[in-house]
Amino acid sequence: MCLATLTMVACGDKNPAEAGGGGGGGIPEGYVPPISVEDKSLADWDALEHQELIVRDELTAETPYWSALKKVQVYADSICIFYALTFEPTAITAPSETAGYHIYLNADNDPNTGGHWDLFGPENKGNEDILFEGTVWDVDGNQTSYSPPFISYWSGPVGGNDWYWTEFDLVDAQVSASQFVADGVVEGYLVRDLIPFKKWSNAFEIGFDLYDDGYTAVGLLPQGNATDGGKQIGRKPKLKVTFDE
Ligand SMILES: [Ca+2]
Ligand SMILES: [Ca+2]
């Protein structure tokens, strides 16, 4: 099984970010993941006692922007953060290396650290500490695994916006992987212990955006209802997840 064959990498002291510095041993031997990302099925999510779930159908049709992301599921145990994304495949006009999704993490569950409110703000103060930016397509548009070569740490002012992300090379650490369940359905995970970040608490916040070729945002969750017909997006805080430990 893929999870069991991940390379064990301690990558702590490579991290230049003040907040980081302490990855661990990765996935322990014998770990049985509660979610398989190799089964090409989301049925295993139904067996969970709980999960965090957002379905866009719960939103009204008044949310006109970034609507391609239809459903987000997240579950985290002490080892991994699992997620499943369901999106409208036709929203990706050109699957490529510049189409994919971001995973935004308020990793320390602290609203007073991090930044980058961007799509989730400005009503929501920026609190993101970690960003994953990657694709699930190769240069030829073939489906592939979500394995960003670096992780980004917020290096801008607390609560600020803009692209103040500092990249930290993760080339030796298999922190992330995913697989398509179907067109527009991706199941993936992050290995928490391989993310060189020391300030994890018992919970975190997570948000996703989907972007088309050229990094054009087409999907966002969590997202609230638009409050008017103009450029009001419908802001909503990121999804709060408690580690099941
Ligand atoms: Ca599965
Ligand atoms: Ca934070």
For residue 74, how far is its CA from the centre of ligand 1 (angstroms)?
A: 12
Among 30-44, 58-72, 125-139, 207-221, whose mean pLDDT is lowest?
58-72
pTM of the model: 0.88
For residue 91, how far is its CA from the centre of ligand 1 (angstroms)?
A: 23
Q: What is the DSSP string of 125-171?
A: PP-B-EEEEE-SB-TTS-B-----SEEEEE-S-TT--S--EEEEE-T
For residue 38, how far is its CA from the centre of ligand 2 (angstroms)?
A: 31
Using DSSP, state whether 89 is helix, strand or coil: helix
Distance of alpha carbon 238 from alpha carbon 28, whole angstroms: 29
In the prediction, which pLDDT does 55 show?
82
Phi (first) and psi of residue 193, to 5 degrees: -65, -20
Count CA atoms within 13 Å of residue 59 on its CB side: 26
For residue 26, how far is its CA from the centre of ligand 1 (angstroms)?
A: 20
For residue 77, how far is its CA from the centre of ligand 1 (angstroms)?
A: 15
For residue 146, how far is its CA from the centre of ligand 1 (angstroms)?
A: 15
Ligand located closest to 106 CA: 2
Confidence of residue 57 (pLDDT cuts 50, 70, 90): low
Task: Give yes or no for a contact between 173 and 8, defined as CB atoms under 8 angstroms apart.
Answer: no
Distance of alpha carbon 34 from alpha carbon 32, whole angstroms: 6
For residue 181, how far is its CA from the centre of ligand 2 (angstroms)?
A: 31
Ligand located closest to 181 CA: 1
For residue 144, how far is its CA from the centre of ligand 1 (angstroms)?
A: 16
Burial of 166 (0-12, 13-18, 19+ CB in 10 A): middle
pLDDT in tens, 84-121: 999 999 999 999 999 999 999 999 999 999 999 998 88
Burial of 167 (0-12, 13-18, 19+ CB in 10 A): middle
The pair of structure tokens assigned to 41 is 């099925």
Task: Give yes or no for a contact between 170 and 7, defined as CB atoms under 8 angstroms apart.
Answer: no
For residue 84, how far is its CA from the centre of ligand 1 (angstroms)?
A: 9
Q: Please compute Rg for the chain using Cα positions.
A: 17
For residue 101, how far is its CA from the centre of ligand 1 (angstroms)?
A: 19
Ligand located closest to 111 CA: 2
pLDDT exceeds 50 at position 16:
no
Cα angle 222, 227, 231; round to 5: 85
132 vs 124 pLDDT, higher one: 132
Average pLDDT taken over every residue of the chain: 85
